Amino acid sequence: MKYISEFRDSALAQGLISDIRGKSKHKVRLMEFCGGHTVAIFKYGIRQALPANIELVSGPGCPVCVTATSDIDKAIALAMVPGVIIASFGDMLRVPGSRASLQQARAAGADVRIVYSTLDALKIAQENPSKTVAFIGVGFETTAPTIAASVLQAKEQKIKNYRILSLHKLCPPVIKTILDAGEVKLNGLICPGHVSAVTGSNAWEFVAWDYGIPCVVAGFEPTDILQCVDMLVTQVENKQSKVEIAYKRGVTPEGNLQAHKIMRQVFEPCPANWRGMGKVPASGLKLRAKFADFDAEVAFDIKPAPAIEPKGCICGEILRGVKTPADCRLFRKVCTPENPVGPCMVSSEGSCSAYYLYGER
C-alpha cells in the first residue's frame, strides 16, 4: 500500500476485524504504550469494533503526561530567572505545576516562547546574545536525537547562550517497571511506532524473553492497529511470545543507527522521575560532562519548593494502566481541555483528552 487512504480502507479493516473475531478464543488484555495509538484507537472506534474478550489498556506513552510535577516546577523556576528565555513545545505550557503553569508564568512576565523545533530555539539564542535561551527537553527517544543535534550545532557554531533542561524519558525501562509492579496483567504489548523507528524493534525483545509477553510494533492508521491486534491475538492463541513488526514502512529491528550515535554522543542515561511511577533507574537522559556548558541545571541553581500534586487527579494511575479517565471524579466535571487539572487532559496524546474527545459516551 502506498497511500494513507489505503490504510483507512473499510473493507481491509472489516477483513481484519473478522479475522480477529474468528481466531480470538480467550480473554486478552493488550496495552498500547503510545499516546498516538490511544488517540487513534478512540478516534476510529477500534475498541468498539473488537470482540468483547479483547481489552485495550492505555499506557504511559505521552511524554508531556509523564513529566513529573517537580520537573514542571523546575521549568517554571527557570523561567523566572532574570535574563532567561524559555523555549518549549506548545503542550508543555498548559501543564499545571504545583502552583502555576508555564503559561501562567508567561502571563506574570516570564519570557516563554513556543517553538516547533530546536532550530527555532537556536535562532532565538542567536538573535538574543545577551540572554540565555533554555530549551525544555521533553520527549522520548523520538525527540532526543534532534535535541542532541541542536547541542552539537550550538557547539560547532559557538552559540554560548543556549541551554537544555533535559527532562527526556526512555521507554523500555518504564515498561519494565510497569511489568515488575504487576498491577496490570498483560497478554500483549502494542509497541510504539515512532519510538521504535529510532530504537528498533529489538528494544522490546526483553518483554518477550523475560516476561513471555508478545510484542508487535504498530503504525498509527486504523488498519495498522488492527493488523497489530491480529498478530498479537495469533501469538496469544498459539502460546507464542516474540517481537514482530506491523509497521515495516517505518521500523526496522535495529532502528535508526545515526540517531543512536548522536544520542550516545551527547547524552547518557540517568534516573528520571515519572508521574505516577516515581524515580525509574536509567530511564532519563542527562548531558554528558563534556557538554556541561549547555546544561541548564549546571548553569543555574534551580531549587523550586517541594511539589504539590493536584488534589483528586489520578493521572498517575491512568498512566500505569490501573485506572481509566472514567474512574476519575474530576473527569468531564471539573477537568476539561479548557480547564485541565492534570497533564493527561492537556496533551493532544493524553488519555483523558482522547476519552474526552472520542470516548465511549
Query: If one looks up domain 4-59+173-245 in CATH, what number appears?
Result: 3.40.50.11750
Which pLDDT band, with edges at 50, 70 and 90, does 123 fall under?
very high
Share of the chain above pLDDT 70, in %: 98
38: CB partners within 8 A, 6+ apart: 32, 58, 61, 62, 349, 351, 354
Alpha helices for the chain (secondary structure H):
10-23, 35-43, 46-49, 63-66, 69-79, 102-107, 118-127, 144-156, 171-181, 193-199, 205-211, 222-237, 257-266, 296-299, 315-319, 343-346, 351-358
Question: 117: phi > 0 → left, psi -120 to 50 → alpha, else beta; which?
Answer: beta
Give me the pLDDT at residue 40, please. Answer: 93
Total residues found in the chain within this entry: 361
**DSSP of 272-309:** EEETTTEEEEEEEEEE-GGGGGGBHHHHS---PPPP-P
* Domain map (residue ranges) of the chain: 4-59+173-245, 65-170+255-299, 315-358
Tens-digit pLDDT profile for residues 6-42: 777 788 889 999 999 999 999 999 999 999 999 999 9
Give the pLDDT score at 4. 65
Q: How far apart are CA 65 and CA 276, in angstroms?
A: 10
Q: What is the pLDDT of residues 196-234, one digit of tens each?
A: 999 999 999 999 999 999 999 999 999 999 999 999 999
Q: Which pLDDT value is given to residue 359?
A: 78
Sheet with 111-114, side-by-side order of all strands:
111-114, 84-88, 132-137, 162-166
pLDDT at 343 over 80: yes
Ramachandran angles phi, psi of 283, nearest 5°? -110, 5
Please provide residue 320's backbone torsions phi and psi, each rounded to the nearest 5 degrees: -85, -5
When pLDDT is averaged across residues 333-338 and rounded to a whole number, the result is 93
Arch. (CATH architecture) of 65-170+255-299:
3-Layer(aba) Sandwich (3.40)
Q: What torsion, rounded to 10 degrees, do the Cα atoms 206, 208, 211, 212 define?
A: -160
List the beta bridge partners of residue 278.
274
Give, as one character, the DSSP assignment of residue 38.
H
Say whether 65-170+255-299 and 4-59+173-245 share the same fold: yes
Contacts of 293 (CB under 8 A, 6+ apart): 160, 299
| Kind and range of the H or E run holding 203 | none
> pLDDT, tens digit, for every residue of 268-313?
999 999 999 999 999 999 999 999 999 999 999 888 999 999 999 9
Q: Is the predicted pLDDT of residue 5 greater than 70, yes or no?
A: no
Residues 259, 266: Cα–Cα separation, whole Å: 11
Whole-number Å distance between alpha carbons of 335 and 261: 41
